[in-house]
Amino acid sequence: MSYPPARYLDESGQVSATLRRADAAPDLLIGTRTQVHHLATGASTDGRFGLYRWDMSADRTGGPSGHFHRTMSESFFVLEGTVSLYNGDAWVDAGAGDFLHVPPGGIHAFNNDSGAPASMLVLFTPGAPREAYFESLAEITASGRTLTDEEWLELWARHDQYPAKA
């Protein structure tokens, strides 16, 4: 494996770094139990990756059911607390410092059923526009709408998310 082609060709560097403080307000609330921080979106990284922090309350925060993506990998790094991660074969309790990488096509899911707050980083590569999917989830939760199975399948398909077959 070698380095990719150069993307920056000037002779000297430039001032272009961005800093997001740890105490910045969340970008999105999903219900009252999940805060999502858009640390680096696909748009801000020129499509190279998307990085998000999920802060989940102690109130047994549910997550998606087993699913997979066709176009991107997804990785999880637990910052604090215990997050239940599904690796396609079994649910495992992951604690601070634990990491799960899921390549395209890999079945996975997550939730916080520990009864305590938990926080994790979620990394997508390449940087798909996941914010629109997260915003849809927040709107559905806030409105109390109930989607039909067909509506869920259509929403998921728009965002490269496919349910795992039982």
User: Do 45 and 35 form a contact (C-beta atoms < 8 A)?
Assistant: no
The band of 166, judged by pLDDT with boundaries at 50, 70 and 90, is: low
Region 16-24 average pLDDT: 95
For 40-56, b/e burial (b = at least 16 CB within 10 A) is: bbbeeeeeebbbbbbbb
Cβ-proximal residues to 154 (8 Å cutoff; 6+ apart), any chain: none
Q: Which CATH superfamily, name and number, covers 28-160?
A: Jelly Rolls (2.60.120.10)
Mean residue pLDDT across the chain: 95
- In the prediction, which pLDDT does 64 show? 84
User: Do 121 and 50 form a contact (C-beta atoms < 8 A)?
Assistant: no
pLDDT in tens, 79-120: 999 999 999 999 999 999 999 999 999 999 999 999 999 999
DSSP 8-state code for residue 65: P
Region 53-77 average pLDDT: 92
Element (H, E) at 34: strand 34-40
Lookup result for tokens 């800093």: 19
Report strand pairing: 91-95 vs 82-86: antiparallel
Region 76-80 average pLDDT: 98
pLDDT in tens, 27-60: 999 999 999 999 999 999 999 999 999 999 998 7
